[in-house]
Amino acid sequence: MRIAQALAFLLFLTGCGRYADFTLPAPEGTGPHAPFVWEASPDPVFQRGDLSDVLNPSVVRFQGAYWNLYSEFDGKAWHTAAATSSDGLAWTHQGRVLSPRVSEGSYIAANGSALVVGEELLYWYEIGYPLRIALARSRDGKNWTRHSEPVVPLGPRGSFDERAVADPYVIRAAGNFYMFYLGQDRARRQSLGIARSTDGVIWEKLRTNPILEPGGPGAFDENGLGEPSVWTSGGQWWMLYRGRDKKEQRRLGLARSTDGVRWERVPNFLISGSNSWDSQVICDPSVEPMPDGTIRVWFGGGDVARPDQGIHGQIGVGVLRGNVSIP
């Protein structure tokens, strides 16, 4: 009996097998690589109208069109809404598709990551307080079936994600799903981690998380980082991510990796708002590698420096232009 109890306790400490050591597949050898140059359209492509904020675009190609699952804040709660487009620039509203439930905390069902898998659209998103990551599925983009429980829970006591898991960004590589996400510890430090799954439902977190931590004093991300967006090209894995400084101004930095788990910041690269509507906040990147060798980026922007909502958030678009590796 004592042996059985000891084994049960050991499984509890190791997260019941939900932790593992892994790396991502080798990065794509062709395509754009650093140094990158940022060019953004001066005006938002998606305005907030009467809402407090529209942010967190997650843009995918689905059933012959661009679908944008974005977040809107109505002054009380965050919802996920959908819009469609033929070119990713001019958008048609399709209405709200997910709203928070009382059982989920009645505050948020948004800030997610969409991915097309076969005939389905999968969407991982934030719920509850403390924040956890849930999953919903759809075959038409409008009618959604939610998974019954959060699919990414909080980490154990003392972990980097003990108090929150949020900001999911999911990619698929070599048959596996990889989720990059924000974790918050008991000191309210926000760092980035990664998890792996074969089905998008059951996830195992990297045993050595976090993969990227806040910068030092005076850095643009000294107050925390989040909202990662990942792609591969030019022999590297690349990550755009949001950093918060001491004044709560938010901007985007760039990191690179050869294996997807050991990351280094790209020096002298920072995306700041250059227009009145995004002068204080640039956040929530969603990327699309383009045939012309650029990386198109949809992003959130605002003119009020705050860590959450009430920033007059709207959605813009820009491109990263880099050097291009040719096979």
Alpha-carbon torsion angle 130, 173, 119, 296, nearest 10: 80
In the chain, where the domains are located: 24-325
Statement: residue 8 has pLDDT above 60 = no
Q: For position 324, what pLDDT does the model report?
A: 82
Say if CB 168 and CB 158 are below 8 A apart: no
pLDDT band at 160 (very low <50, low <70, confident <90, very high): very high
Statement: residue 276 has pLDDT above 50 = yes
Q: For position 61, what pLDDT does the model report?
A: 98
* Residues ≥6 apart with Cβ < 8 Å to 273: 251, 279, 280, 281, 282, 301
Q: For position 102, what pLDDT does the model report?
A: 87
Statement: residue 7 has pLDDT above 50 = no
Say if CB 159 and CB 185 are below 8 A apart: yes
Q: Which of 285, 238, 191, 278 is nearest to 34 (CA)?
A: 238
Q: Which of 196, 186, 134 is nearest to 164 (CA)?
A: 186
Report how far residue 195's alpha carbon sits from residue 117's, in angstroms, rounded to the nearest whole number: 18
Q: For position 87, what pLDDT does the model report?
A: 97
Specify the range with the lowest mean pLDDT, choosing from 9-18, 225-234, 292-301: 9-18
Statement: residue 6 has pLDDT above 60 = no
Statement: residue 78 has pLDDT above 70 = yes
Statement: residue 64 has pLDDT above 90 = yes
pLDDT band at 106 (very low <50, low <70, confident <90, very high): confident
Per-residue pLDDT reduced to its tens digit, 110-119: 999 999 999 9
pLDDT band at 85 (very low <50, low <70, confident <90, very high): very high
Report how far residue 229's alpha carbon sits from residue 197's, in angstroms, rounded to the nearest whole number: 18
As beta bridge partners, residue 31 has: 325
Per-residue pLDDT reduced to its tens digit, 94-105: 999 999 998 887
User: What amino acid is encoded at 28 in this protein?
Assistant: E
3-state secondary structure of 3: helix
Statement: residue 2 has pLDDT above 60 = no
Report how far residue 41's alpha carbon sits from residue 303's, in angstroms, rounded to the nearest whole number: 16
Q: Which of 210, 254, 212 is nearest to 229 (CA)?
A: 254
Q: CATH fold of 24-325, please?
A: Tachylectin-2; Chain A (2.115.10)
Statement: residue 81 has pLDDT above 80 = yes
Contacts 24+ apart (CB under 8 A), 195-204: 195/152, 196/20, 196/22, 200/115, 200/117, 200/122, 200/124, 200/135, 200/151, 200/170, 201/135, 201/147, 201/151, 202/151, 203/18, 203/151, 203/152, 203/179, 204/17, 204/18, 204/19, 204/20, 204/22
Burial 20-54 (b: 16+ CB within 10 A, else e): eebebeebbeebbbbebebebeeebbbebeebbbb
Per-residue pLDDT reduced to its tens digit, 175-190: 999 999 999 999 999 9
Statement: residue 327 has pLDDT above 70 = no
Report how far residue 284's alpha carbon sits from residue 252's, in angstroms, rounded to the nearest whole number: 9
Report how far residue 201's alpha carbon sits from residue 182's, in angstroms, rounded to the nearest whole number: 18
Percentages helix, strand, coil for the chain, rounded to the nearest 5? 5, 50, 45
In the predicted model, what is the mean pLDDT of the chain?
93
* pTM for the whole structure: 0.94
